[in-house]
Amino acid sequence: MKSMGQKSVFYGVIVILSLIVPWLLPAYQTQLAFLWVMVVFALTWDVVGGQMGYNSFGNIVFFGIGMYVTAVIQRNMHFDIEEYVHVAGRVETLTPVQYLEGLFLGMGAGVVVAVVIAAGLGACILAMGMRGQYFGICTLGLGVAAGELANGWEYIGAGSGLVTPVFPDQLGQRGAFFYYIFFILAVIAFLTLRYLYAGRFGLAINAIRDDEDKAEAMGIHTTRYKIIAWCISAFFLSLVGGGAGHLIGFIDPTEVAFAGATFGVWMILMAILGGKGTLWGPVIGAVIFHITQELFWTYLFGWQRVALGALIVAIVVFFPMGIMGWMRERWPERFGHRVEEREAFSASKGGG
Amino acid sequence: MTKKQSYLFTLIVIIAAISLVFAGPSWAKVEGDTIIFGAAVSFTGKYSTNGKHTKNGYDLVVKRVNEMGGVKVGDKTYKIDIKYYDDESTPARAGQLADRLIKQDEIKFILGPYGSGPTKGIAPITEKYKIPMVEGNGASRSLFNKGYRYIFAVLSTSEQYLAESINLLAEKFKEDGRDPKSAKVAIAVENDPFSMDIRAGVVDDAKRWGMKVVIDDKLPKELTDMTATLTKVKALRPDALIVSGHSKGAALAVRQTAQMKVDVPMLAITHCEAADVVGKFGGDANYTLCATQWAPTMTYKDEWFGFAGDYAEAFEKEYGYVPPYQAAESSAAVLVYVDALQRAGNFDTEKVRDAIAATNLQTFYGWVKFDETGKNIAKPMVLRQIQKGKYVPVAPRKFAAGEVIFPKPKWKDR
């Protein structure tokens, strides 16, 4: 099939480009690594906020949890806690094996903790039937509360934050290492979501977005789907958080881990910019947003936030449906929603 | 076929964007006859006031050194310059910008940001790339227990800031024939790396004297109100109230103790000068004890500025206000680089790093000599009391120009 062939060429180009780009632009590795973090941010936010229509302002919680769990496990495995928290003596650097052990075990544990918490919170908030702006405000509170809790908890460094170990030299380039970790995570997240959206899960959460009461009347277990959707967000966000904590090197409770005012808002913005409720929208949004932001930082020194604010206003005014939404409206025959074979098939298979 | 165009569009956007980033200007460590330092400083966000002091401190040295001919490295004399970014007062951004300065702008010498938080964000990066950072505004002691080799701080670490006030309190108690053990201390600090260290230093000293800490409050980072703490102070009547929260905390402590007429024999804070408490609150600021890294009345001198007083004069002429110590310590950081580069005689980062480590230099700001962790161990903190709108050094004894007024007169008598 021609379209299949073109599709694979397209995906192939993106993958190859992504794989070689850190070597083409070695000086930009760290920023490119953050690009994939942004992509995961937008993709995971869109599961709940876009596809399901539940505007969550609290997804940053899972990012922070992943970051803290990973860093704490890394610390507890290799250091004397007293020494690390209460500043005394020197802390030696880790061997590559220790570093990787701590990082990956930590990320694994972070996922478990984050998903359990997402399920627990979901069971409390979503099962209570909280919707619309009430859900939004509630999740906003979650983010703030998580930051304050971390701010007061001595065991995880409280207001002084946590420092992750220095990246061992033997593992090669730090930027490239994290670039590939985040790239792989973003690809897995994208493919997982693509698979899920194409099937029953996607239809169910879309139904919740369009009319939750009707969806429920049709026999969809809306609460279950909502909680699952939130857990999927938490799953990928916590993984990315674990890596990001190590990439940034210093975890401040409210400004790095539970940074609602920056990362927390950006993930929403990126999804909206690209077009929420679409698969590619968040990816496009994240890429454009991240690059614009980096450019503003370099060229509009001191005014970058003002410019960013103006950009956000412009986006909301001129592209209320996001870039993908705009393209769909402009060229419906090219970008409009089409019922593809697989989608139709799974729709007909799952009745209720 | 269905989404061919959208894919193509994405691809074009990605490529265009990458090429845009790539087209950015490239700064080398030495361009022609100019040595370029890199700094991510808070121009926006909660540290923006102090970020400005930091930048002014750096810029004044750049100007002065260039006017006086420049820095002699090897056989050649170089001008100096600084490439700035805005870290927005967050550690996450500071770290990313350090990465950018080092990798994209190819800067080999980093000057510190303002504040312990951003400094903590940068230290792992400079450490990783083995690029020296001389900083004058990251005082948290947790910066110096990680075994970092490339960070050097010209300032006294934060646990020393207000510890002296506890010793002063004990001294006064002894003079009055009271047992220092009976003294009660109240602490209210912002929940951030810098202030938490201040608290640690105060708690340690209070413990040493056997004093009782009756209030130990952590204030939120969005520091706008401390009436809850002050109400407790009114009820528990401690002998000293210690407050730390950068400039905002200083202004808040002075303003609200006056508004609520909180009578406490000793009020000790940080950042008096940076917050300009005298200018803002006039007589209400009197009798406040202020920790300072440096004061224009000190008698240190160097070849670039002369005495501390001369520096203060030059600074005021340039920027229109008396330099707070945040500016002075920033200037000192650049002077350390200048001295180290001259001694190293080349631009090899390892050699420069070793030269910095071997620094033994008198600047207008005080002596600079680093221990193996990179802290400056040659310069003490000074405690000044605001008396009739003037800052009078009162401790330690060596620097004292006046006697401390203790206890503070009650509000009804003022």
Task: Please report whether residue A344 resides in a domain.
Answer: yes
CB contacts, 8 Å: B142 with chain A: 87, 160, 163
pLDDT of residue A339: 54
Tokens of B236: 């528990």
Whether residues B99 and A159 touch (CB distance < 8 A) is answered with no
Tell which residue, A245, A284, A281, has the closest CA to residue A263.
A245
pLDDT of residue B18: 55
Rounded to the nearest 10 degrees, how much is the dihedral formed by the CA atoms of A305, A306, A311, A313?
120
pLDDT in tens, A69-97: 999 998 888 776 655 554 433 455 678 88
Is A144 a member of any domain?
Answer: yes
> For residue B365, which of B393, B325, B394, B320 has the smallest C-alpha distance?
B325
Asked if residue B12 has pLDDT above 70, the reply is: no
- Answer for the pair A322, A273: CB distance below 8 angstroms, yes or no: yes
Q: Which residue has the higher pLDDT, A299 or A259?
A: A259
Say how far apart CA A238 and CA A260 lie, in whole Å: 15
Percent of chain A residues past pLDDT 70, beyond the cut: 90
Estimate the crossing angle of helix A2-24 against helix A174-198, to 10 degrees: 160
φ and ψ at residue B267, rounded to 5 degrees: -120, 115
Q: Which of residues 40-79 of B touch A (CB under 8 A)?
A: 43-44
pLDDT of residue A104: 92
B151-153 and B133-135 beta bridge pairing? parallel
* Comparison of pLDDT for A301 and A214, the residue scoring more: A214
3-state DSSP of chain B = CCCHHHHHHHHHHHHHHHHHHHCCCCCCCEECCEEEEEEEECCCCCCHHHHHHHHHHHHHHHHHHHHCCCEEECCEEEEEEEEEEECCCCHHHHHHHHHHHHHCCCCCEEECCCCHHHHHHHHHHHHHHCCCEEECCCCCHHHHCCCCCCEEECCCCHHHCCHHHHHHHHHHHHHCCCCHHHCEEEEEEECCHHHHHHHHHHHHHHHHHCCEEEEEEEECCCCCCCHHHHHHHHHHCCCEEEEECHHHHHHHHHHHHHHCCCCCCEEEECCHHHHCHHHHHHHHHCCCEEEECCCCCCCCEECCCEEHHHHHHHHHHHHCCCCCHHHHHHHHHHHHHHHHHHHHCCCCHHHHHHHHHCCEEEECCEEEEECCCCCECCCCCEEEEEECCEEEEEECHHHCCCCCCCCCCCHHHC
Interval B389-410 mean pLDDT: 87
Say how far apart CA A240 and CA B127 lie, in whole Å: 23
Higher-confidence residue of A345 and A223: namely A223
- For residue B2, give the nearest of A17, A327, A338 by CB distance: A338
Residue in B24, B145, B193 closest to A88 by CB: B145
Contact B100/A31, CB-based, under 8 Å?
A: yes
At B244, phi and psi to the nearest 5?
A: -140, 130
| pLDDT the model gives residue A22 | 87
Distance to chain B for A169, nearest Cα, Å: 8
Residue A350 has pLDDT above 50, yes or no: no
Rounded distance between C-alpha atoms, residue B138 and residue B143, angstroms: 8
pLDDT at position B1, please? 43
Report the b/e string of B110-122 with b at 16+ CB within 10 A: bbbbbbbbbbbbb
> Shortest CA distance to B383 belongs to which of B280, B290, B266?
B290
Q: Which residue has the higher pLDDT, A347 or B41?
A: B41
Nearest by CB to A159, which of B8, B90, B193?
A: B193
Answer whether B204 touches A (CB < 8 Å).
no
B110/B126 Cα distance (integer angstroms)? 8
Contact between A289 and A322 (Cβ < 8 Å): no
pLDDT(A1) > 50: no
Q: Residue B3 — very low, low, confident or very high, per pLDDT cuts 50/70/90?
A: low
CB contact, 8 Å: B19 with chain A? no
Contacts of A254 in chain B (CB under 8 A): 221
Residue type present at position A170: Q
Q: What is the C-alpha to C-alpha distance for residues A256 and B20, in angstroms, rounded to an integer?
A: 27
Residue A200 belongs to domain spanning: 29-349
Cβ(B117)–Cβ(B40) below 8 Å: no
Task: Please report the number of interchain residue pairs, chain A to chain B, with beta-carbon separation below 8 angstroms.
Answer: 181
* Best mean pLDDT range from A147-151, A299-303, B211-215: B211-215
**Residue A188 resides in a domain:** yes
Whether B132 has its CB under 8 Å from any CB of chain A: the answer is no
What value does the mean pLDDT take over residues B52-75? 92
Place of tokens 């951030």: B192
pLDDT at residue number B22: 47
Q: Is the pLDDT of residue A348 over 80?
A: no
Mean pLDDT of chain A: 85
Answer whether B357's CB lies under 8 Å from B370's CB.
Answer: yes
Give the integer Cα–Cα distance in Å for B9 and B6. 5
User: Domains in chain A: how many in total?
Assistant: 1
Q: Which residues in chain A touch residue B10, judged by CB atoms under 8 angstroms apart?
A: 280, 283-284, 287
Most confident of A127-141, A229-243, B143-157: A229-243
**Is the predicted pLDDT of residue A273 greater than 50, yes or no?**
yes
User: pLDDT of B183-203, one tens digit each?
Assistant: 999 999 998 888 988 998 899
3-state secondary structure of A38: helix
Report the number of secondary-structure helices (H) and strands (E) in chain A. 16, 2
Over the stretch A215-270, which tens digit does the pLDDT of each residue have?
989 998 999 999 999 999 999 999 999 999 999 888 888 888 998 888 998 999 89
Name the CATH superfamily, with its identifier, for domain B160-292+381-413: Response regulator (3.40.50.2300)
* A242, B138, B315 from B193: Cα distances, Å: 22, 10, 29
State how beta strands B109-111 and B76-86 pair: unpaired
ipTM score of complex: 0.77
**Using 50, 70 and 90 to split pLDDT, how confident is the model at A26?**
confident
Q: Touching check for B372 and chain A: CB below 8 Å? A: no
Give the gyration radius of chain A's Cα atoms: 21
Q: Which of A184, A192, A226, A189 is nearest to A48 (CA)?
A: A226
Euclidean distance between CA atoms B410 and B414, whole angstroms:
7
Tokens representing residue A96 in the block: 């590559």
From chain B, the residues in CB contact with A30 under 8 A are: 96, 99-100, 103
Q: Scanning every residue of chain A, which has its alpha carbon at the shortest distance from the alpha carbon of B125?
A: A249
- Is residue A322 pLDDT above 60, yes or no? yes
Please count the residues of chain A: 352
B59 in helix, strand or coil?
Answer: helix
Mean pLDDT, to the nearest integer, of B105-131?
A: 91
Q: Quick check: A94 and A168 in contact, CB under 8 A? A: yes
Render pLDDT for B221-241 as a digit per residue (tens, 0 to 9): 878 899 999 999 999 999 999
Going from N- to C-terminal start, the domains of chain B cover: 30-156+298-369, 160-292+381-413
At B10 the pLDDT is: 61
- Could you tell me which of A61, A151, A256, A257 has the C-alpha nearest to residue B219? A151
Q: B86 CB near a chain A CB, below 8 Å? A: yes
Question: Which residues in chain A touch residue B121, judged by CB atoms under 8 angstroms apart?
Answer: 248-250, 252, 256
The reply to whether residue B191 touches residue A27, judged by beta carbons under 8 angstroms, is no
Chain A residues whose beta carbon lies within 8 Å of the beta carbon of residue B85: 297-298, 301
Minimal CA–CA distance to B50: which of B115, B97, B112?
B115
Would the pLDDT of A276 be above 90?
Answer: no
Does residue B61 contact residue B304 with C-beta atoms inside 8 Å? yes
- Residues of chain B contacting residue A305, judged by C-beta atoms under 8 Å apart: 44, 88
Residue-level pLDDT at B297? 84
Judge: B92–A166 Cβ closer than 8 Å, yes or no: no
B120 and A152 within 8 Å at the Cβ level: the answer is: no
Q: What is the pLDDT of residues A327-339, one digit of tens each?
A: 888 887 777 665 5
Percent over 70 (pLDDT), chain B:
93
Beta bridge partners of B364: none
3-state SS class at B37: strand
At B45, the pLDDT band (50, 70, 90 cuts) reads confident
Q: What does the pLDDT read at residue B28?
A: 45
Please tell me the predicted confidence (pLDDT) of residue A24.
87
Which of B14, B20, B90, B100 to mutate to probe the A interface, most A CBs <10 Å? B14
pLDDT digits (tens, 9 = 90+) for B263-298: 999 999 999 988 899 999 988 999 999 998 888 888
Do residues B233 and B241 make contact, with C-beta atoms less than 8 angstroms apart? yes
Helix (H) or strand (E) run with residue A178 in it: helix A174-198
CATH class of B30-156+298-369: alpha beta
State the nearest Cα–Cα gap between A188 and chain B, in angstroms.
19
- Computed on alpha carbons and rounded to an integer, the radius of gyration of chain B in Å comes to 23
Least confident interval from A62-76, A118-132, B21-35, B352-366: B21-35
